[in-house]
Amino acid sequence: MSEKESVNFIEQIIQNDLAEGKFPDGIKTRFPPEPNGYLHIGHAKSIVLNFGLTQMYKGTTNLRFDDTNPETESTEYVNSIKRDIRWLGYDWEDREYYTSDYFDQLYDFALKLIKEGLAYVDDSDSETILEQKGTVTVPGTESTFRSRSVEENLDLFEGMKKGEFEEGSRVLRAKIDMASPNMHMRDPVIYRIKRMAHHRTGNKWNIYPMYDFAHGQSDSIEEITHSLCTLEFENHRPLYNWLIEKLEIYPSRQIEFARLNLNYTVMSKRKLMQLVEKGVVSGWDDPRMPTISGMRNRGYTPAAIRLFCEKVGIAKRENVIDMSLLEFCVREDLNRVAERRMAVLNPVKLIIENYDEHKEEMLPAINNPEDEAAGEREMPFCRELYVERDDFMEDPPKKFFRLAPGRNVRLKHAFIIHCTGFERDENGELVEIRAEYYPDSRSGSDTSGIKAKGTLHWVSARHADNAVVHMYDRLFKVPEPLADKEVDFLEHVNEDSLEVVKGVKIEPSLTESEALKPFQFLRKGYFVRAENSDGDLPTFNMTVGLRDSWGGKNKK
RNA sequence: AGACCCAUGGUGUAACGGUAGCACAUCGGUUUUUGGUGCCGCUAGUCAAGGUUCGAAUCCUUGUGGGUCUGCCA
């Protein structure tokens, strides 16, 4: 797939493990989302890592829903997550697991701890537990319930399970060390009472395990060899290892890497949720969102996202990736696969004065210069066309290669024309450009010997259809919306991130195009037809613009 | 400031005691019937101070800077 010989630190660990013969049956990883939100590009990094590793080094990757909190989880999220992973191009085959499938086993693990005097039921309320926890510099104090007998603990825990106690009245805690410098070792809560239905187990349970008592053991149950997670779980690792040791279960190895951050956007589920709830965007799948579903609607391809995830690398350093890298990856893929079409976003009429008013001809146009197999289509040509308003200047600078009085320009796949005049209305607004064409300059059979510096895209005025285009800009005005903790990130929202362009003229072949199929609108950018049109007209979302060395230069 | 983690061009990421490389971005050139694509090139980096060593981005010490941790969230 790539020419790289350098491997990231996780691959190095795996290579070493394999060299030592530790995993003769192959390695096992897992992708463990909580079904309480939509997947975003940060999750994609983890998905590509976990599935990529087992493709590369022979192994399997499980999909496991970490559904230990019935309050926030639902099957709606389960389904969207599965759809997104499949769309990205990964297959977990029959290995679709749920932490809730392990509730019985986890309960038995808790029993084992209690029996060995390593867990106890605490009747303290949450405020008391918090107070007794101490701080990072002050050791905690032991709960008065810490020394309960095994029998009493067993009895009370059973009562918790049976629903005999109110929510919040008791918890089960591991008995570790209230003076540990690691806060996670100060007798962490491992079970809490929640008398509510779970999206999979229904009303079976009145108690649910905490993440810290479920995640690591779920890895062990599945015999995950390398359990990859983000940096913030580094401090939890000693607890997981303690549980593995005391429970005498499969020793999955946790390795932490830095999560993905992208500039000009936010990545946490909570923050994304706020954007949705405040109506800043139209939903989780708004094309401006860094969610997988948003990016899909924007026209990003799975291959582009995978490429991006490979290019960002895996390391332990906090990072903020440049949006330009994502855009590069998108163009890289789309340039190869997107068929070319012509659309005029800001049209102005162009009259070919010496072209017969009643004549029409069909001109062949290649669909993709990067892919011979994409074939060609025909475009109607006649006396009246539309071209881009920006492609004309009355008094242009010398480096302007487009239309101006007296200048020649090539109409892509058609003829070279000579600009003979133009018309403005009373407001000075350009309303019409006039030109003459050179009949012997037809593309593919040009014998005119005439040169033209620039090439323009166009559509036939008589045949063009109307469309709407959604242009997108970055969601935030600053590279790191979360950087200043004094300022609410919502204040950095770019209110011009969506521009609805009406009056767009598209070539006829675009009228019946299918949703989400990528196109390059020549000289403009990559677009996909939206699944839901804006009114009656076909609507196209801009995925990303073409690189523009003229526009940039011109601005400076 | 208790513990743990991290520190290489603007942004990412390699170099495993022996020539600091790659990608994106930037800038310049070239090709081109897309001012796209392709191709070529420039600019620019080891947080600091000590130590070990023939030799340190790499090992040690200290400092500095950044991150994580005190939910019955995950």
pLDDT tens per residue, range A46-100 = 999 999 999 999 999 999 999 999 999 999 999 999 999 999 999 999 999 999 9
How far is Cα A129 from Cα A168, in angstroms, rounded to an integer?
A: 12
Q: Can you say how many angstroms the Cα of residue A8 is from the centroid of all Cα atoms in its chain?
A: 22
A501: CB within 7 A of chain B nucleic strand: no
How far is Cα A435 from Cα A485, in angstroms, rounded to an integer?
A: 58
A167: CB within 7 A of chain B nucleic strand: yes
Say which nucleotide is closest to residue A325, CA to C1' distance.
Answer: B24
**% of chain A beyond a pLDDT of 90:** 95
**Residue A112 pLDDT more than 70?**
yes
Please report, rounded to whole angstroms, the spatial distance between the CA atom of protein residue A6 and the C1' atom of nucleotide B19.
18
Contact (Cβ atoms closer than 8 angstroms) between residue A114 and residue A150: yes
**Residue A251 pLDDT more than 70?**
yes
How far is Cα A523 from Cα A526, in angstroms, rounded to an integer?
A: 9
> Interface pTM (ipTM) of the complex?
0.97
pLDDT of residue A3: 41
Positions of chain B reached by protein Cβ under 7 A: 1-8, 10-16, 21, 23-28, 33-38, 66-74
Please report, rounded to whole angstroms, the spatial distance between the CA atom of protein residue A232 and the C1' atom of nucleotide B55.
38
Neighbouring CB atoms inside 10 A of A135's CB total 8
Say which nucleotide is closest to residue A340, CA to C1' distance.
Answer: B34
- Of A173, A177, A256, the residue nearest A209 (C-alpha): A173
**Residue A1 pLDDT more than 50?**
no
Residues 6+ apart with CB under 8 A from A37: A77, A269, A272, A273, A284
Out of A347-356, A466-475, A486-495, A534-543, least confident range? A534-543
Please identify residues in chain A, positions 11-40, with a C-beta within 7 angstroms of any atom of strand B.
Answer: 12, 34
- pLDDT per residue as tens digits for the range A130-145: 999 999 999 999 999 9
How far is Cα A259 from Cα A39, in angstroms, rounded to an integer?
A: 14
- pLDDT per residue as tens digits for the range A127-185: 999 999 999 999 999 999 999 999 999 999 999 999 999 999 999 999 999 999 999 99
Contact (Cβ atoms closer than 8 angstroms) between residue A461 and residue A355: no
pLDDT of residue A524: 98
Tally DSSP H helices, then E strands, for chain A.
13, 25
A208: CB within 7 A of chain B nucleic strand: yes
- pLDDT per residue as tens digits for the range A497-535: 999 999 999 999 999 999 999 999 999 999 999 987 767
- Closest residue to B67 (CA to C1') is A318
Q: What's the rounded mean pLDDT across residues A210-214?
A: 98
A178: CB within 7 A of chain B nucleic strand: no
Please identify residues in chain A, positions 317-376, with a C-beta within 7 angstroms of any atom of strand B.
Answer: 317-322, 324-325, 327-328, 331-332, 335, 340, 368-370
pLDDT of residue A534: 67
Alpha helices in A23-96 (DSSP H): 41-56, 75-88
Q: What's the rounded mean pLDDT across residues A370-380?
A: 96
- Of A49, A188, A60, A59, the residue nearest A118 (C-alpha): A188
Please report, rounded to whole angstroms, the spatial distance between the CA atom of protein residue A477 and the C1' atom of nucleotide B66.
24
**Residue A556 pLDDT more than 80?**
no
The set of catalytic residues of A is 34, 259, 269
Contact (Cβ atoms closer than 8 angstroms) between residue A157 and residue A202: no
Contact (Cβ atoms closer than 8 angstroms) between residue A14 and residue A44: no
